[in-house]
Chain A
């Protein structure tokens, strides 16, 4: 059974803290994605990675960075968390080729106080 896992389902942090969200996939997928999901706004792409150590900015990269040191792991970093980063964060992965669907993790609901 294919899987994308995320390190936490719920996370509460304080303003200014450095936050790490981790995502692991076991499907040997080349492509991995971080989205932010907010009511009425759908899924907005923060960053994606198409290979180890490769990354590309999505639509809303400001305030975020990412790391992909190993193929199966893609981390999202909030350098200095702010209250407007309170959201649901979804990780996804997909294989090469446009036919392939994205597989999603369960999400991390982050609250920044």
Chain B
């Protein structure tokens, strides 16, 4: 099975600053999809951003962007101009091109300091 590793259990960032959350994965597939999800305290998990492995261009969604390094099997999330509402648990996830299963990392808890 594929494995997804988030090596930073906790991170903190000053409001308005930039923070990068790390994610690495292990797979033998050449085509797959990667996702970052956000789970605010006591609230529903929502998608932040996704990346198709066959696309070289890094995905961006407003203040959120990824640094996708396919050869290194690395998929980090950059949050620019951090806001108090960004405080949450962030999960990195992998989905192969075949099959229905998602593989999640253990999460990074992000604190935003006013």
Q: Is the CB of B98 within 8 A of A42?
A: no
- B34-47 vs A, CB cutoff 8 Å, 1 = contact: the mask equals 01010000011111
Given contacts A90-B45, A101-B35, A104-B45, A42 and B91 within 8 Å (CB-CB): yes
Q: How many residues of A contact B (CB 8 A)?
A: 23
Q: Is B18 an interface residue (CB 8 A)?
A: no
- A70-113 vs B, CB cutoff 8 Å, 1 = contact: the mask equals 00000000000000000000101010001101101111000000
Within 8 A of A (CB), among B59-114: 91, 93, 95-98, 100-102, 104-107
Determine how close the nearest CB of chain B comes to the CB of A92; give it in whole angstroms.
Answer: 8
| Cα of A31 to Cα of B106 in the assembled complex, Å | 23
Count chain A CB atoms within 10 A of each CB in B44, B52, B97 and give the residue with the most.
B44
- Per CB-CB distance, the 7 closest pairs between chain A and chain B, nearest first, are A42-B106, A104-B45, A43-B104, A101-B47, A31-B100, A42-B104, A106-B44
Q: Which of B47, B101, B106 contacts A41 (CB 8 A)?
A: B106
Q: Is the CB of A99 within 8 A of B33?
A: yes
Within 8 A of A (CB), among B1-17: 1, 6, 9
22 CB contacts below 8 A, A to B, read: A35-B104, A40-B9, A40-B106, A42-B6, A42-B91, A42-B106, A42-B107, A43-B104, A45-B101, A48-B100, A48-B101, A58-B101, A92-B45, A98-B32, A98-B98, A99-B50, A102-B35, A102-B37, A102-B102, A104-B44, A105-B44, A107-B44
Instruction: With A42-B6, A90-B45, A99-B50 given, name 14 new contacts (CB 8 A).
Output: A35-B104, A42-B91, A45-B101, A45-B102, A48-B100, A48-B101, A94-B102, A98-B32, A98-B96, A99-B33, A99-B52, A102-B37, A104-B37, A104-B44
